[in-house]
Amino acid sequence: MTCQARRLHVENMPFGVTKESMADFFNAQMCLPGLSQAPGNPILAAQMNQDKKFAFLEFRSVDETTQAMAFDGIQFQAQSLKIQRPPDYQPLPGISEQPPVHDPG
């Protein structure tokens, strides 16, 4: 039931980025400011569409997914990434949709 709420849609990806490099980048970003809720990597999986320059990231928790939305506009390989909920996202009852205030730099 939470699978859809644990995914983010990432647009404007640089050409040639792999799903591994995208997951590594976000895992590192989540650990730097202490947004990760537990030891280990918060990203479980990444799916990429190179032709259309977008990806889906699946997080291990809904809270970490919501926190990662604060990275909207973050620079990755000289590209400003657009991060949002997937088009088919339906909010879960009782879950806050507001990411914490965080300036990714």
Average confidence (pLDDT) over 6-17: 92
Predicted structure pTM score = 0.80
Is it true that domain 4-84 has CATH number 3.30.70.330?
yes
For residue 16, what are the CA distances in angstroms to 2, 11, 21, 79, 96?
Answer: 30, 14, 10, 12, 34
pLDDT tens digit string along 40-95? Answer: 899 999 999 878 889 999 999 999 999 999 999 999 999 999 999 998 887 766 65
50/69 Cα distance (integer angstroms) = 21
Cβ atoms within 10 Å of 9's Cβ, excluding its own:
16
**Any idea where the domains of the chain sit in the sequence?**
4-84
* Amino acid in the structure at residue 58: E
Q: Are 79 and 16 in contact (CB under 8 A)?
A: no
